[in-house]
Structure 1
Amino acid sequence: MSSSPLYYAKILLFGEYGIINDSSALSIPYGNFFGSFKFFPSDSATEEQLTSNQHLRQFTDYLKKMPVTEEFFTTFDFERLDADIARGLYFDSSIPQGFGVGSSGALVAAVYDNYSTNKIDPDTTLNINNLPKLRHQLAVMESYFHGKSSGMDPLICYLKIPVILQSGHSLNPITLPESKAGSSAIFLINSGMPGKTHSMVTLFMEKMKNEGFRKLLKNQFVKYNDACIEAFLNGEISGLFKNLKKLSRWVFTHFNPMIPEHLHSLWLQGLETNQFYLKLCGSGGGGFILGFSPDFDKAHHLLKPYNPEVIYRF
């Protein structure tokens, strides 16, 4: 294998959980974290490298058991993959695991890109018709890590461009409004603890068994989420923050167990002061929290103790 390309982290700006229930979603690559395949020296491997190598072997064993069907028609060069694992292949990644920024998605993208024998190539064979097929294949692969995957994380990590999923079905690459030195900002807050994606998704699926919750999700969460995406892409700042406040309050009320307890007061402070609004970044339970502020400089004194990291200004 020649030098491996980089696979960036991703940030799901909108659509967490609702993506499983036909809401729209907007996801972007995040270049501050990334991973790539490397080989470790046989005589001086670190424990971290050995662990990554072992996880690759287990993931490969899982892929070998996946039946090739009309929906999942990906085949892999397992002979080459097994040989590379045997000589020290590992995924060298700065993407923190369990933080909602696509650590498993980047690994899935890397395996698919480097070892699929019939991959859909972004530069040559990708088109609007096979984009959903690509997402489905990557979702099947990532299900190894989380039990259920939308496929959006590895898709963003693989394509390395922003993608919008509309009403749970229609996928389209998009161009974000140009980032500029405006007063508004999107930022990340590190909760200081990894989330447990599998347990959080399981909790959500349990809630989905309740008809009343399903109606709330469809009639309120999806409505606010989709309105946020539309306003953001159209540059409608007032409409964006109006719906962000509704979305943030809804998440605090109905996804409360997914918000780390030590951030509850900050979450409510944003809703009370209207200086910023917080939402989940990924499945929650830990990891990063995503924030939006109409005037970040004004809100910074409230956020400063939490070391916010600005990822986009507008």
Structure 2
Amino acid sequence: MKNFPAKLLLFGEYGLMFGAKALAVPFPRYSGSLVKSCAKNVDEKSGQSAAELERFTAWLGEEGRNKQMNYPLDLGRLQQDVQAKLYFRSDVPLQYGVGSSGALCAALFDEYSNYVADGTKPLSDGAALLKQDFALLESYFHGRSSGLDPLVSFLDRPVLLENGRLSLPTLALDKLPWSMYLIDTKTTGATAPLVNLFLRKMEQPDFRKLFEQEYLPTNNRAVDAFLAQNETEYFANLQNITRFQLDHFAEMIPTDFVPTIRRLLGQNVLVKLLGSGGGGFLLAFVPRGVSVTLPEGSFQIFQA
């Protein structure tokens, strides 16, 4: 079956739920596909995936969830395949912020939904309906989902969300006037508990005011500067994002990496959360012409 890529949420973490601009891109370094097993016995990882798909299928059939979708899945066929030990073969790291559940939802939707792309209309025209369906599917894994991760994986295109509207910008990520790296924290971070923590923080008037009046506008300006490839404006806003996350998102940053982020900040090498944080990868941006030593296991992405 078809392979579906991981994704990187470059901007919009947490702010996406409150109207922030969000920019996410496919990340084909990692991917996954559904596999119909012919063997009676599968390895442990495949067996765990098969069991999870069985639970997911049962959940989707409850409370009329599948019927709520714009493009429902063929539950009968999915149930048959699940009973035959359907599993998701994937090298997307789990709880690393790169969309492991999004790739799975994209694969399930592609194989079992009744969606057919209308070749006479731009792909972006139907993206909002797809996003609604993906939000429902992925809510099984996270409790709450925007649907953006599986949408990016399914379309295999960059997706920009702005004022509730979706567009599919053309990005030459290998030609940006700065370089990008992933820093491996070598630990995992579960999305749902961190999202719940953030929502509790938003109940505090002082934090909510800071977030809405400082963080969201800065995030939006950073997205605009990224798309315009305005390096000066981009790094000015990105520095504010890094400082805000250090000061107010401490629970989302692995403690061992805080000194590293502060050290790099002094060199104008700016590090931010990738997705909900808590572990997994951190995203680092290095200005043109700057030489820097990053933690072991870091690697450059989207290089020419």
TM-score by length of 2: 0.94
1:24 matched residue in structure 2: 21
Note the alpha carbon deviations across 1:123-142, whole angstroms, 9 max, x for none: 57764443212111100111
Which runs of 4 or more aligned residues in structure 1 lie more than 4 Å from their structure 2 counterparts after TM superposition?
68-71, 122-127
Query: 1:306: how far off?
Result: 2.7
User: Following superposition of structure 1 onto structure 2, how do residues 61-210 of structure 1 map, counting pairs within 5 Å?
Assistant: 61-67=58-64, 72-117=69-114, 119=115, 121=117, 127-167=123-163, 169-177=164-172, 179-180=174-175, 184-210=178-204
Q: Does 1:311 align with 2:301?
A: yes
Question: What are the ranges of 5 or more consecutive residues in structure 2 without an aligned counterpart?
Answer: none
Q: Does the C-alpha gap of structure 1 residues 220 and 120 become closer, same or farther in structure 2, counting only changes over 3 Å? A: farther
Trace 1:215-254 onto structure 2 (pairs within 5 A). Answer: 215-254=209-248
Structure 1's unaligned 5+ residue stretches are none
Contact 2:176-2:229 at 8 Å conserved across structures: no
Retained in 2: the 8 A contact 1:164–1:172?
Answer: yes
State the SS of the aligned residue for 2:175: coil
Query: How has the CA–CA distance of structure 1 residues 78 and 124 changed in structure 2, closer, same or farther, with 3 Å as cutoff?
Result: farther
Question: What is the CA distance between 1:120 and its match in structure 2?
Answer: 5.2
CA contact (8 A) 1:68 1:74 kept: no
The offset of 1:40, in angstroms, is 2.7
Deviations along 1:122-161, whole A, 9 cap, x unmatched?
A: 7577644432121111001111111111111011011100
1:23-58 alpha-carbon deviations (Å, 9 max, x no partner): 000000000000001123433311111110010011
The letter for the 2-side match of 1:154 is P
Q: Displacement of 1:286 after TM fit?
A: 0.6
* CA–CA separation in structure 2 for the residues paired with 1:149 and 1:109: 14
- Would the aligned equivalents of 2:66 and 2:72 in 1 still touch at CA under 8 Å? no
Q: Distance in 2 between matches of 1:102 and 1:296?
A: 31
Q: Which amino acid aligns with 2:229?
A: G
Q: Secondary structure at the match of 2:64?
A: coil
Match of 1:282 in 2: 275
Bigger drift between 288-297 and 218-227 goes to: 288-297
Contact 2:102-2:150 within 8 A present in 1 as well: yes
- Name the SS for the 1:109 alignment partner: helix
SS at match of 1:306: coil
Whether the 8 Å contact between 2:117 and 2:123 is mirrored in structure 1 is no
CA positional deviation for 1:181: 8.0
Q: Displacement of 1:308 after TM fit?
A: 1.7
User: What is the CA deviation profile of residues 254-278 of structure 1, one whole-angstrom value per residue up to 9, with x for unaligned ones?
Assistant: 111100001000111122222x111
Q: Secondary structure at the match of 1:33?
A: strand
Amino acid at match of 2:222: C
Residues in 1 aligned to 2:118 and 2:265: alpha-carbon distance in whole angstroms: 41
TM-score, scaled relative to structure 1: 0.91
- For residues 36 and 228 of structure 2, the distance between their equivalents in structure 1, rounded to whole angstroms, comes to 45
Q: 1:39 to 1:19 in 2, by over 3 A?
A: same
Q: What is the alpha-carbon distance in structure 2 between the residues aligned to residue 155 and residue 69 of structure 1?
A: 17
Work out the percentage of aligned pairs sharing the same amino acid: 36
With over 3 angstroms needed to count, the CA separation of the structure-2 counterparts of 1:66 and 1:132, relative to structure 1, is farther
Match of 1:54 among 28, 41, 51: 51
CA contact (8 A) 2:138 2:145 kept: yes
